[in-house]
């Protein structure tokens, strides 16, 4: 296997006596979709937050493209190519959809200590923003104020914002959360269309989506990795069935 | 817009013709406070930073002008190098006032912006009050009694002792700052600032080092407030620590909220309305605040976006 894009080694984060993640190790290789599943409270979101930098691990190390980012702040990791979507939709509610994505383009386009030229008429921000909106299926919705978009559309917008920073790796925290079946199917199509372009670490509850999308699956139970493998291997794994899939079905 | 500009341009000769020249001074004061309010709105309305210590920069700018005058060639205690004749020029004195206010904002902002929410409000207030008490106890510069200014700064080819000339200078400075502000809020920097207000967590996740951008805005706002303070010192020919009192911060904030946060016209309108109300009502009653209070409550309840927002949308609560 090629050198992984992201490796996390021995991540431990305890809140009092509770270990949210317990020497968790996982890696993501270029171009793959690596899904992380597990019952509620398994530490999936805590794991994502340690990777994105919002939570500092007590122990362990994180490397992105060979570089140690364990102690780097959130915004530096983003600059190095980590983009993230949030479990609870997090967009700029008062901005239009296109403004939201243009902000992400701007984040990737050098520093923003530019005080004179109007940003809203800058084609180097607006045309990539419009292209990315098209890509996620929000073409024609660019002028809508983000908080007025439907829930599913806001989730698509989040993906667009993550994509617009030209990331190496997308960290997606339950992108299908709260979606109806139609919306969820559109999101699966969108994500499978990204396969190969960008590596994705996907935390998701929707098992159909996970097995449709993932190249590899890691199962977390109470902060610990219990299995990693191809979707078929995971489905067949008796430990996993007992710990997770069985009780879910 | 053109009508307002024309009206403001002919106001001084009109006022003099009608023998009501106090109006010139009233509007000069309005322009100065409008500048202070616009500068606060840059961080409050656009950046979401509720700074309750804006009087610190306003007062600092005023004190720089007064201290330069005090130690100047025509002052009470000439002291080289402050007695150099070119320091009496507004170009030099006001630049120094802006620089001092910007430096102060850099120091206060660098500490305060490590906090947020209620802590940020309290810490900015605390810094301003510290500065207030510092000047109260600074006997050299008059302490509580303040400091008189022998004469206004000079500008090439202008006599600022002339009320109309000073009026036009203040109007021009306000107009230039509004144009600069307009460019700023629509620039990339302005978008980042507004993004920080909308959702700072998101900005960080996108890769923006938000602290740096917010601190820059904080310094720019402090600098503009310092310029307003320098003009105020010239206008009153006097400074005292009351300029830095928290009630001044409150008054500037009321102008912003009354007129409309997050717009450039809003704070200007807020300054006009508040100071005109004060002027008119205080002629009839001592406790004119009794009228202002309910007006503010009504605005906050029924026109959350202030007078300007209500006027622009015809929709008080959108």
* Structure confidence at residue B316 (pLDDT): 41
Name the H helices within A16-112. Answer: 44-52, 74-79, 97-108
What is the spatial distance between Cα B106 and Cα B98, in angstroms, rounded to a whole number? 12
Contacts of B129 (CB under 8 A, 6+ apart): B53, B246
* Structure confidence at residue A249 (pLDDT): 42
- pLDDT category at B226 given cuts 50, 70, 90 is very high
Residues of chain B neighbouring A168 (CB-CB closer than 8 A): none
The answer on pLDDT for B289 being more than 90 is: no
Q: What is the mean pLDDT of residues A17-31?
A: 93
Test A115 with B189 for CB contact under 8 angstroms: yes
* A196-234 residue pLDDT tens: 899 999 999 888 899 999 999 999 988 999 999 999 999
ipTM given for this complex? 0.91
Which has the higher per-residue pLDDT, B52 or B297? B52
- pLDDT category at B2 given cuts 50, 70, 90 is confident
* Structure confidence at residue B318 (pLDDT): 37
* A42-86 residue pLDDT tens: 899 999 999 999 999 999 999 999 999 999 999 999 999 999 999
Name the H helices within chain B. Answer: 2-17, 22-41, 55-70, 90-112, 117-136, 163-186, 188-198, 200-206, 210-236, 246-259, 265-284, 289-302, 306-313
Test B207 with A107 for CB contact under 8 angstroms: yes
* Structure confidence at residue A9 (pLDDT): 95
- pLDDT category at A247 given cuts 50, 70, 90 is low
Token pair in block for residue B162: 């002339």
* Structure confidence at residue A189 (pLDDT): 94
Q: What is the mean pLDDT of residues A14-31?
A: 93
Q: Is the pTM of this model over 0.90?
A: yes
Q: Distance (Å) from the C-alpha of residue A82 to the closest C-alpha of chain B?
A: 8
The answer on pLDDT for A243 being more than 80 is: no
What percent of chain A lies above the pLDDT cut of 90?
84
* B239-276 residue pLDDT tens: 999 999 999 999 999 999 999 999 999 999 999 999 99
* Structure confidence at residue A246 (pLDDT): 56
Which domains are present in chain A? Answer: 1-81+167-249 (3.40.50.300), 91-166 (no CATH)
* Structure confidence at residue A70 (pLDDT): 96
* Structure confidence at residue A2 (pLDDT): 62
Q: What is the mean pLDDT of residues A167-177?
A: 94
* Structure confidence at residue A3 (pLDDT): 79
Q: Which of A115, A110, A143, A140 is nearest to A125 (CA)?
A: A110
Determine which of A124-128, B194-198, B290-294 has the lowest per-residue pLDDT on average: B290-294
Determine which of A65-69, A140-144, A239-243 has the lowest per-residue pLDDT on average: A239-243
Determine which of A116-130, B73-87, B160-174, B193-207 has the lowest per-residue pLDDT on average: B73-87
* Structure confidence at residue A178 (pLDDT): 87
The answer on pLDDT for A10 being more than 90 is: yes
Test A107 with B206 for CB contact under 8 angstroms: yes
The answer on pLDDT for A180 being more than 50 is: yes
The answer on pLDDT for B7 being more than 80 is: yes
* B66-104 residue pLDDT tens: 999 999 988 888 888 888 888 889 999 999 999 999 999
- pLDDT category at A153 given cuts 50, 70, 90 is very high
For B185, name the nearest residue in chain A, comparing CA atoms only: A115
Mutate to test the interface with B, among A52, A75, A80, A158 (most CBs of B within 10 A): A75
Q: Which of A135, A140, A185 is nearest to A160 (CA)?
A: A135
What is the spatial distance between Cα B305 and Cα B316, in angstroms, rounded to a whole number? 7
Test A114 with B189 for CB contact under 8 angstroms: yes
The answer on pLDDT for B145 being more than 60 is: yes
Characterize B202-213 residue by residue with b for buried, 16 or more Cβ atoms within 10 angstroms of its Cβ, and e for exposed: bbbbbbbbbbeb
Test A115 with B187 for CB contact under 8 angstroms: yes
Report the residue from B189, B199, B207 with minimal CB separation from A75. Answer: B207
Test A116 with B183 for CB contact under 8 angstroms: yes
Report the residue from A114, A118, A161 with minimal CB separation from B206. Answer: A161
Residues of chain B neighbouring A122 (CB-CB closer than 8 A): 188
Q: What is the mean pLDDT of residues B118-139?
A: 97
Q: Is the dihedral of CA A218, A219, A224, A225 positive or negative?
A: negative
What is the spatial distance between Cα B200 and Cα B116, in angstroms, rounded to a whole number? 11
Determine which of B6-20, B137-151, B211-225, B287-301 has the lowest per-residue pLDDT on average: B287-301
What percent of chain B lies above the pLDDT cut of 90?
82
* Structure confidence at residue A201 (pLDDT): 97
């Amino acid at each position: 296997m090629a050198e992984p894009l992201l490796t996390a080694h021995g991540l431990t984060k305890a809140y009092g006596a509770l270990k949210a993640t317990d020497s968790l190790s996982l890696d993501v290789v270029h171009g793959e979709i690596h899904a992380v599943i597990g019952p509620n409270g398994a530490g999936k979101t805590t794991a994502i937050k340690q990777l994105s930098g919002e939570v500092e691990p007590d122990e362990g190390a994180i490397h992105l493209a060979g570089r140690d980012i364990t102690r780097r702040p959130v915004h530096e990791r983003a600059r190095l190519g980590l983009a993230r979507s949030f479990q609870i939709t997090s967009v700029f509610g008062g901005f239009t959809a296109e403004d939201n994505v243009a902000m992400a383009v701007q984040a990737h386009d050098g520093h923003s200590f530019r005080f004179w030229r109007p940003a809203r008429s800058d084609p180097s921000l607006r045309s990539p923003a419009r292209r990315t909106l098209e890509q996620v299926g929000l073409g024609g919705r660019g002028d809508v104020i983000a908080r007025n978009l439907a829930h599913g559309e806001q989730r698509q917008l989040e993906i667009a914002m993550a994509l617009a920073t030209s990331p190496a790796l997308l960290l997606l925290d339950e992108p299908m959360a709260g979606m109806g079946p139609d919306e969820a199917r559109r999101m699966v199509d969108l994500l499978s269309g990204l396969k190969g372009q960008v590596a994705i670490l996907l935390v998701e509850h929707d098992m159909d989506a996970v097995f449709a999308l993932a190249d590899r699956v890691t199962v977390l139970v109470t902060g610990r990795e219990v299995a990693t493998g191809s979707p078929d291997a995971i489905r067949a794994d008796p430990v996993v069935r007992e710990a997770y899939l069985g009780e879910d079905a | 817009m053109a009508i307002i500009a024309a009206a403001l341009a002919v106001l001084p000769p009109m006022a003099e013709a009608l023998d009501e020249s106090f109006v010139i001074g009233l509007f000069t004061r309005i322009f100065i406070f409008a500048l202070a309010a616009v500068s606060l709105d840059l961080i409050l309305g656009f950046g979401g930073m509720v700074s309750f210590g804006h009087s610190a920069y306003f007062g600092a700018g005023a004190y720089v002008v007064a201290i330069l005058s005090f130690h100047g060639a025509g002052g009470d205690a000439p002291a080289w190098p402050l007695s150099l004749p070119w320091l009496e020029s507004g170009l030099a004195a006001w630049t120094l006032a802006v620089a001092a206010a910007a430096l102060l904002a850099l120091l206060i902002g660098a500490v305060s912006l490590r906090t947020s929410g209620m802590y940020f409000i309290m810490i900015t207030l605390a810094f301003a009050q510290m500065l207030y008490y510092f000047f109260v106890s600074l006997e050299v510069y008059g302490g509580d009694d303040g400091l008189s200014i022998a004469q206004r700064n000079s500008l090439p080819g202008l006599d600022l002792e002339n009320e109309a000339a000073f009026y036009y200078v203040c109007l021009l400075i306000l107009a230039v700052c509004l144009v600069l502000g307009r460019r700023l809020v629509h620039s990339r920097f302005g978008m980042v600032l507004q993004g920080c207000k909308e959702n700072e967590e998101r900005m960080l996740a996108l890769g923006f080092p938000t602290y740096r951008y917010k601190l820059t805005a904080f310094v720019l706002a402090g600098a503009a407030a310092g310029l307003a303070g320098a003009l105020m010192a010239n206008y009153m020919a006097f400074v005292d620590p009351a300029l830095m009192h928290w009630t001044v911060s409150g008054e500037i904030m009321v102008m912003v909220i009354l007129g409309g946060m997050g717009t450039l016209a809003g704070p200007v309108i807020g300054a006009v309305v508040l100071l005109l109300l004060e002027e008119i009502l205080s002629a009839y009653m001592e406790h004119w605040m009794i009228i202002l209070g309910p007006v503010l409550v009504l605005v906050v309840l029924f026109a959350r976006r202030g007078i300007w927002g209500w006027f622009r949308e015809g929709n008080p609560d959108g």
